[in-house]
């Protein structure tokens, strides 16, 4: 048994954040997938929100501790595990990184809504809203290849699951989203090649996601 267990779902982007940090820290962990369409009682007992991820932390002389909310889990892992720190040491830069992590929440929502649009007019509106947020993010990115330069950090772990979607869908659709955003395009490519990002999902993740889009009758699933 390992000290850490990640309660998961194969498609959840928030779970991927925690998995990426665990892999970056090179720490062994167990992973248990939950059927979110039929949540078991044991899961509801440990997840106040009824959502994943939940991180179970085994303690030698006390009951297991449960952590929920992906960013909280990621920050706990960063603070308690070895490896390179995933935030800048400078307090102002660290705060700025945390602000862009907060910015990721609505950015992910906009991207998710675009991906799940069922008609072209809705897709156009959602793509424009998503691109507007990406434009603000583009202006904040450093010289690359990652968000703040050569070192992979927490901001990278948070955004990688979002950008993964666009490496799965039709390339022409993705190009419409990222055209004119050269820094994000470089960033996306670097994240896609990062070992921790690749290993954070199951081997058949792409097929699972495309199947999900078809089940949701998303317009892009027909392209």
Question: What SS3 class is residue 25?
Answer: coil
| CA gap 28, 141 in Å, rounded | 31
Query: Which tokens sit at 47?
Result: 């997840």
What are the angstrom distances between the C-alpha of 127 and each of 59, 109, 111, 136?
A: 46, 11, 7, 14
Residue linked to tokens 């050269």: 182
| CA gap 67, 65 in Å, rounded | 7
| CA gap 181, 203 in Å, rounded | 29
- Is the peptide bond prior to 53 cis by the omega test (within 30 degrees of 0)? yes
Q: Which of the following is catalytic: 12, 15, 77, 101?
A: 12
Contacts of residue 107, defined as CB under 8 A and 6 or more positions apart, other chains included, come to: 130, 133, 134, 137, 159, 162
In the residue annotation, 12 being an active-site residue is answered as: yes
Active site residue ranges: 12
């Amino acid at each position: 048994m390992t000290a850490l267990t990640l309660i998961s779902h194969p498609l959840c982007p928030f779970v991927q954040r925690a998995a990426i940090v665990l892999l970056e820290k090179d720490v062994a962990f167990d992973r248990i997938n939950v059927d979110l369409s039929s949540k078991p009682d044991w899961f509801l007992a440990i997840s106040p929100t009824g959502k994943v991820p939940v991180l179970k932390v085994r303690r030698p002389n006390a009951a297991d501790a449960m952590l929920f909310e992906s960013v909280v889990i990621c920050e706990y892992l960063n603070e308690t595990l070895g490896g390179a720190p995933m935030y800048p040491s400078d307090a102002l830069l660290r705060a700025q990184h945390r602000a862009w992590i907060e910015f990721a929440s609505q950015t992910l929502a906009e991207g998710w809504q675009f991906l799940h649009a069922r008609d072209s007019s809705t897709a156009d509106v959602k793509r424009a809203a998503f691109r507007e947020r990406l434009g603000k993010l583009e202006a904040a990115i450093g010289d690359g290849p990652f968000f703040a330069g050569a070192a992979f950090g927490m901001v990278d772990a948070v955004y990688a699951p979002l950008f993964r979607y666009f490496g799965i869908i039709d390339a022409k659709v993705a190009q419409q989203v990222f055209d004119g955003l050269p820094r994000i395009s470089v960033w996306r490519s670097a994240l896609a090649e990062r070992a921790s990002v690749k290993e954070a999902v199951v081997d058949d993740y792409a097929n699972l996601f495309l199947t999900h889009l078809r089940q949701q009758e998303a317009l892009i699933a027909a392209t």
